[in-house]
Amino acid sequence: MHDTAISLIELGAVFFGLGVLGRLAWKIGISPIPLYLIGGIAFGTGGLIPLHGIEPFTHLASEIGVVLLLLLLGLEYSAGELVTGLRRSWLAGLVDLVLNTAPGAIVALMLGWGPIGALTMAGVTYISSSGIIAKVLGDLGRLGNRETPVVLSILVFEDLAMALYLPILTAVLGGVSLLGGLTAVGVSLIVISIVLVVALKFGRYVSALIDSPDPEVFLLRLLGSALLVAGIASELQVSAAVGSFLLGIAISGSTAQNATRMLEPLRDLFAAVFFVVFGLNTDPSQIPPVLGFALLLAVVTAITKIGTGWFAARSQGIGKMGRARAGAALVARGEFSIVIAGLAVGSGAVSGELAALATAYVLLMAILGPVAARVVEPVARLVVSRKPQTQA
């Protein structure tokens, strides 16, 4: 009873603290992810007051957080939108892939983390934060802008790339052979293809199977199917994250809208626990040695993302101001970068310093991204207004 009481007190303090941090983030206009990570670091290994009574709950809750993050990401897209987005943005997506995986891989090799560390850090620096970007575009009233579909197309390409990348990373982290890795990729491709076909042809049946007029029944079916699919996908070496993402794609129409509305509070709760758990497992004493590399990566990958957005918007005939807004919108990194680093560190296949570098990097980028999106327009206007004077 005493241990249970201590666990409840610690868990209650964590949840209340997350609420305070979330409110603070809302007040100052940034994503709460950096504050959740800082909170986890403060109460984890080497932190101010280490918490030891909540590990069983937080471990499972953080896994559920990843499932819900990817499920709601999938709910944002239909299979048709994914296919259309892929056709529209494949060239810009390839440019994005090359420009933004290279910095992470190079830094990992410089730090002596080997091919596995390079593969992990390539994913960390590649993937933009769909959650932060969507929130910033909504807050700034840019959802109807001409460049926004271009930004969303890039995000769709990245999400599809992740559906292939995560099984490869999982296989490598598990130490499987080359044949095993190729098998995992093959299974992933087959599963993705089947899900897309099912979503395109029979999506209404999947939605009908989950849908219910009763909110309680609907939530139980939805959450149950998400966990079932995630678990089966994990057994097939496709990764739980990809499984939940693909389920989200297969759900469409009003069912997807109702699911998003109902799951958003749960996602935010469990995702917050995930970020805290990642922070708990990060030793703050390891951050200072890699902070310089985190700053370097932040500067370089901010420039490469801006370049990606500029290239993609220009290819669609959008003006310079729209190109600048598209590039700045893509800068933010967040939840997916931490998911990738968490998979790698949790497997024990990479150094704990990678967690410290990923944490510092995401802290910087989750703050820099929204700031860049907000200031890019006034900065661009200032540059344009001064240009004739410079030429004169």
CB 309 within 8 A of CB 96: no
Does a structural domain hold residue 322?
yes
pLDDT digits (tens, 9 = 90+) for 236-294: 666 676 678 778 878 878 888 888 888 888 888 887 887 787 777 777 777 888 899 99
CB 313 within 8 A of CB 322: yes
- pLDDT value, residue 390: 45
Does a structural domain hold residue 104?
yes
pLDDT digits (tens, 9 = 90+) for 112-148: 988 889 999 999 999 998 767 876 777 677 877 888 8
Does a structural domain hold residue 184?
yes
Provide the 10 A C-beta neighbour count for residue 258.
21
Please, what is the average pLDDT of the chain?
81
Instruction: Say yes or no to pLDDT of 308 above 90.
Output: yes
pLDDT digits (tens, 9 = 90+) for 143-195: 778 888 888 788 878 877 887 787 778 778 877 665 666 676 677 677 777 76
- pLDDT value, residue 256: 86
CB 275 within 8 A of CB 281: no
- pLDDT value, residue 178: 57
CATH code assigned at 68: 1.20.1530.20
- Give, in degrees to the nearest 5, the angle at Cα 332 between 386 and 113: 120
- pLDDT value, residue 179: 65
Name the residue range of residue 254's domain.
60-382
Mean pLDDT on 345-355: 80
pLDDT digits (tens, 9 = 90+) for 318-336: 888 999 999 999 998 877 8
Does a structural domain hold residue 372?
yes
CA atoms within 13 A on the CB side of 213: 0
Query: Residue ranges of the alpha helices (H) in the chain?
Result: 2-28, 33-42, 55-75, 79-110, 114-126, 130-139, 148-173, 178-210, 215-235, 240-250, 253-280, 287-315, 320-329, 335-347, 352-391
- How far apart are alpha carbons 287 and 354 in whole angstroms? 9
pLDDT class for 392, splitting at 50, 70, 90?
Answer: very low
Structure tokens that stand for 96 in this block: 């994005």
Percent of the chain beyond pLDDT 90? 19
Cβ contacts of 337 within 8 Å, gap of 6 or more: 123, 124, 125, 127, 129, 358, 361, 362, 365
pLDDT class for 203, splitting at 50, 70, 90?
Answer: confident
- Give the single-character DSSP code of 318: -
Cβ contacts of 215 within 8 Å, gap of 6 or more: 262
- pLDDT value, residue 52: 64
Does a structural domain hold residue 11?
no
- pLDDT value, residue 238: 61
**pLDDT-wise least confident of 256-260, 310-314, 348-352, 356-360:** 348-352
Mean pLDDT on 205-225: 89
Number of domains making up the chain? 1
CA nearest to 75, candidates 240, 212, 203, 221: 203
- pLDDT value, residue 137: 78
- How far apart are alpha carbons 152 and 158 in whole angstroms? 10
Does a structural domain hold residue 80?
yes
- Give the single-character DSSP code of 145: S
Residue 166 vs residue 20, higher pLDDT: 20
Does a structural domain hold residue 15?
no
Instruction: Say yes or no to pLDDT of 230 above 90.
Output: no
Instruction: Say yes or no to pLDDT of 306 above 80.
Output: yes
pLDDT digits (tens, 9 = 90+) for 34-75: 788 788 877 766 556 666 667 777 778 878 887 887 788 778
Provide the 10 A C-beta neighbour count for residue 390.
7
pLDDT class for 205, splitting at 50, 70, 90?
Answer: confident
Helices 240-250 and 55-75: crossing angle in degrees, nearest 10, is 40
CA nearest to 322, candidates 312, 331, 332: 312
CA nearest to 306, candidates 111, 160, 159, 92: 92
Does a structural domain hold residue 360?
yes
